[in-house]
Amino acid sequence: MTEITRPTLIIDKEICLQNIERMAKKAEKHKLRLRPHFKTHQAAKVGEWFKQFGISQITVSSVSMAEYFASNGWSDITLAFPLNILEISRINRLADSIKLNVLVENREAAEVLALKASKKIGVFLKIDTGYNRTGIPAGRTGRIDSILDILSKNSKLTFKGFLTHTGHTYTARSTNEIFSSHFDALLKLKQLRNRYQKNYPGMELSMGDTPSASICGNFDGVDELRPGNFVFYDLTQHKLGVCEISDIAVKVVCPVVAKHVSRNEIVIYGGAVHLSKDTLQNTDGKELYGRVIINHDGEKVLLDTKNYLTRLSQEHGIIKVTPANFKLINVGDLVEIIPVHSCLTANILGHMITSEGEFIEMMPKY
């Protein structure tokens, strides 16, 4: 920490291991396969940490990410993003070397896949259980039937089941809303299972946003969980009530470069290119880009929400503080910022350092 001179993503390996262990135990208790989403960390070394908890199957969000983790020894990967038919050649190449599942949600993609899949590929149908981002609305069995019909034309393709991302849990205003969105998604998936299991006895149900995976206790009928963010957690998850601040494994350490007493503002070297621009609404109604930990008398102190990262430009961050805290922070100090959205923060920085000082490279950007 004392050797840090510029914005640096610090990852606490011990907290990550605790987070993974907790989720792995929960999955085991509910007889679920944990297939964690690796888009959060995008790092081969962090991926290794999952292995001691029996994880051998993973989720990714792009062909590039699948290639990266395949080249790092992962041989069972679900590409949880609507099939991009322009990448079909790379998908075939991948499927030649690993067990690959893809997602289909429309006839156009199903037809290209049925025509061009030359290797064994598992296919999940992406179901929209209310998030309204993408996927087949759960009630649209006509569309499901016709996609299954198209896929059946190519014997390389195996229908694996239904997959959903209950992403609307991220806009929940209470944990009750998370429970309710999760339960609703569960019911919709189970109706699909009831309808299709007879013809497809091997089919599975796959769910897995971090909020519901963290706090819900009913996974009846579900086979697989795919949360990603839980390995790091962040302020978004904390605000949702699904993790404690002490569960958050990543912080961006930033140098203090200026102070403005008339505005009670601290300027840090740490901006949009280090933290990303995701925000939360702070207790004062304003946009919050991160919370602040300072060193005081040799101890780390998390400041309350009257002190927070309030503005970001490309390389500058502006921290609003109370007059009392203003005096405790000096030019040349290092402060730690807890990020709003750890996935985007890790992605934008492109590398991390463990609290033990180990450098962790992330997947290349191309």
The footprint of a copy of itself (CB under 8 A) covers 4-6, 39, 61-64, 81-87, 90, 105-106, 108-109, 112, 132-134, 137, 167, 255, 257-260, 262-263, 267, 269, 272-273, 276-278, 311, 313-316, 318, 330-332, 334, 343-344, 347-351, 365-366
Maximum distance among all Cα pairs of the chain, rounded to whole angstroms: 71
Q: How far is the CB of 44 from a copy of itself (least distance, A)?
A: 17
Pair type for strands 351-354 and 359-361: antiparallel
Residue 363 beta carbon to a copy of itself: minimum distance, rounded to whole angstroms: 11
Single-letter amino acid, residue 308: Y
Q: Measured on CA atoms in the order 73, 78, 79, 81, is the torsion positive or negative?
A: negative
CB of 16 to a copy of itself, least distance (A): 19
Query: What is residue 23's three-state secondary structure?
Result: helix
Instruction: Quote the least distance from Cβ 319 to a copy of itself, whole Å.
Output: 12
Of 168, 214, 152, 159, which Cα lies nearest the Cα of 192? Answer: 159
Helix (H) or strand (E) holding 208: none
Enumerate residues 6+ apart whose C-beta is below 8 A from 123: 101, 102, 103, 104, 113, 151, 157, 158, 159, 160
User: CB of 153: closest distance to a copy of itself in angstroms?
Assistant: 18
CA distance 16 to 298: 24
Using the minimum distance from each CB to a copy of itself, give the nearer residue, 334 or 337.
334
Min separation Cβ 127 and a copy of itself, Å? 13
C-alpha to C-alpha distance for 22 and 3, rounded to whole angstroms: 32
What does the alpha-carbon distance between residue 221 and residue 214 come to, in Å, rounded to a whole number? 18
Closest to a copy of itself by CB, 4 vs 302, is 4
Taking the least distance from each CB to a copy of itself, the nearer of 119 and 193 is 119
The answer to whether 337 and 278 have CB atoms below 8 angstroms apart is no
CB-nearer residue toward a copy of itself: 69 or 219: 69
Whether residue 211 contacts residue 240, with contact meaning beta carbons closer than 8 Å, is answered with yes
Rounded Cα gap, residues 220 and 322, in angstroms: 48
CB of 279 to a copy of itself, least distance (A): 9
What is the CB neighbour count within 10 angstroms for residue 105?
Answer: 23
Instruction: Work out how close the CB of 303 gets to a copy of itself at its nearest, in angstroms, rounded to a whole number.
Output: 20
Q: Check if the beta carbon of residue 50 is closer than 8 Å to that of residue 13.
A: no
Nearest distance, CB of residue 54 and a copy of itself, angstroms: 26
Q: Which is nearer to a copy of itself, 123 or 334 (CB)?
A: 334
Measured from the CB atom, the residue of 131 and 159 that comes closer to a copy of itself is 131
**Residue ranges in 206-329 assigned as alpha helix (H):** 210-215, 235-240, 272-275, 323-326
Task: Considering the complex, state which of residue 187 and residue 257 has its C-beta at the smaller distance from a copy of itself.
Answer: 257
Strands 136-137 and 157-164: unpaired
Q: Which is nearer to a copy of itself, 293 or 318 (CB)?
A: 318
Of the pair 23, 63, the CB lying nearest a copy of itself is at 63
